[in-house]
Structure 1
Amino acid sequence: MVNSMNIKTLEDLFIHALSDVYSAEKQITKALPKMARAATDPQLAESFKEHLEQTHGQIERLDKLVEVTEGVKIKRMKCMAMEGLVEEGQEIIDSVEKGPVCDAGLIGAAQKVEHYEIATYGTLSALAGLLGYTEAKSLLEATLQEEKETDIKLSKLATAKVNTKASKK
């Protein structure tokens, strides 16, 4: 599916970015269970499961944003960036033997996703502010905060445990 962009206004840009991140979140709900199954570190597997629950909540938050923001509708499109990031994670699952090295790779893949989401939600929040979408901005900020917290959790898990185990392989 090709994403055709007919963006003329800041609101068009906001709707495009919102539609893109909606697709991204949907793709993540399919990738996280696979990552949880591939992880051998119990804390990492649990972290992926927790993030899956959180992602469902973030999708609900996006649905609420559309409900409360007049004139904003999500368009059907595919987030090509997330498709690539998900493919990278799948490549690790397919080509790295299960164990600490794979776990370290999965954390790296998950953090790429988090950084993409942090950038996207930061942009959306700024645009919502400029457009006067107060409630949308606060919903986007809540998700932005969750993404930042997930990134920090993954970093701590990597540095406190997983990467050290992987270095001893």
Structure 2
Amino acid sequence: MKTKTLEELFHETLKDIYYAERKILRALPKMARGANSEELKAAFQKHEEETQMQVERLQQVFELIGKPARGKTCPAIDGIIEEGEEALQAFANSPALDASLIAAAQAVEHYEIARYGTLHRWAQVMGMKDAAKLLDQTLQEEGMTDESLTQLADGSINQAALQAA
């Protein structure tokens, strides 16, 4: 049996996050439509635009490694997105809806941060400076998105959900 390499692991993980980002692109408009808070709607819309750029960056990384931009099914992101869709239904017309949407969105962000952090480090180890730079750019964006969601939650969303209880 052939030993797997870090390059192969990098490629497999790249396919995983490519699938995830494209799946997230389809979920974000639903989340924006479901949100009550105008600030949260705007945050989801902004992240949709960022995610499109992130997909384009991933396509550049695929080009750099000489592989076609293809995803592979990622059960983890499928499950996280399914939980978000369940929250939309379970908390519809509830003051806690926006808090549940932020929680679901942060689960997505944390998954992305884990994947991009790993891919970035592997690219550095393999001397793939251009790929590392692209991946780090997305990693930084994901961290900022997570922080802005936390600020929204702390600023008004969580308190509004609590007040209505």
CA-CA distance at 1:91 after TM superposition:
0.2
1:1-169 aligned within 5 A = 8-67=4-63, 69-169=64-164
Measure, in 1, the Cα distance between the counterparts of 2:65 and 2:153.
42
RMSD in angstroms over aligned alpha carbons? 1.4
TM-score of the aligned structures, taking structure 1 as reference length: 0.92
CA contact (8 A) 1:19 1:77 kept: yes
Q: Is the 8 A contact 2:15 2:71 kept in 1?
A: yes
Does the 8 Å contact 2:18/2:70 carry over to 1?
no
8 Å contact 1:15–1:74 — kept in the other structure?
no
* Corresponding pairs, count: 163
Distance in 2 between the 1:134 and 1:161 partners? 41
TM-score, L = length of structure 2: 0.94
Per the TM alignment, residue 156 of structure 1 is displaced from its structure 2 partner at its CA by 0.2
In structure 2, stretches of 5+ residues that fail to align are none
Structure 1 stretches of 4+ with a deviation exceeding 4 A read: none
Equivalent-residue separation in structure 2 for 1:7 and 1:89 (angstroms): 38
| Shift in CA distance, 164/65, structure 1 to aligned 2, threshold 3 Å | same
Counting aligned pairs with the same residue, the percent is: 45
Does the CA-based 8 Å contact 2:18-2:71 persist in structure 1? Answer: no
